[in-house]
Amino acid sequence: MIQFQTHIGLLKHLPGMHYLEVPQEVVQALGTLNIRLICTVNCKLSFQCGLMALGEGKAYVSISKKRMQQLGVRLGDEIAVTLEKDDSQYGTEVPAEMEELLLQDEEGSRRFLLLKPGMQRYMLNHVSAVKNPQLRVDRAITLIENLKKLPEGKENFRAMLGLPPR
């Protein structure tokens, strides 16, 4: 577990995207950017995350406006951060609807497990993003059915969502 003080910044290349700066010495202590973490802010709110390179050996963790509101913090505020390794299987919560579908659909489960971790997280987060349980079921089924139609190794987000190629 690593604790440090930092501030909330705004990314220049992604307008509206707020972030928590991770100092170079913290990145060095973690040993890699390629790691899933649990980030706790001001001892109040914890969430799963990853690190993105910021330059000059520093990194950042993105933070949503919703999380900032929950914490009562704004751009430029100083905050306390705790980072610890996330040992969960996917680096994000698995919605019950997706878990059940993967138990029932052997081919869907096999194809899901072949995906890169980032794509797995994308699917799980896409299903979790809606509150309505039936919509979560519908999203899970759509993603898995579209995934099974794609050639192995040629998966992409648009196709899994059922959108035409650009």
Provide the domain limits for residue 113.
96-161
2, 9, 95, 116: which is closest to 52 by C-alpha? 9
CATH number of the domain residue 81 falls in: 2.40.30.100
Same structural domain, 81 and 102:
no
Verify that 138 and 104 share a domain, yes or no.
Answer: yes
Which tens digits make up the pLDDT trace of 88-102? 888 888 999 999 999
- Please, which pLDDT band fits residue 15 given cuts at 50, 70 and 90? confident
CA-CA-CA-CA torsion for 122, 127, 130, 131, nearest 10 degrees? -130
The answer to the question of residue 75 being in a domain is yes
Alpha-carbon torsion 12, 118, 149, 145, what sign?
negative
67 and 9 within one domain: yes
Do both 67 and 102 map to the same domain? no
Q: Is the pLDDT of residue 76 over 90?
A: yes
Q: Is residue 58 part of a domain?
A: yes
Give this prediction's pTM.
Answer: 0.70
Q: How many domains is the chain built from?
A: 2
More confident residue, 20 or 93: 20
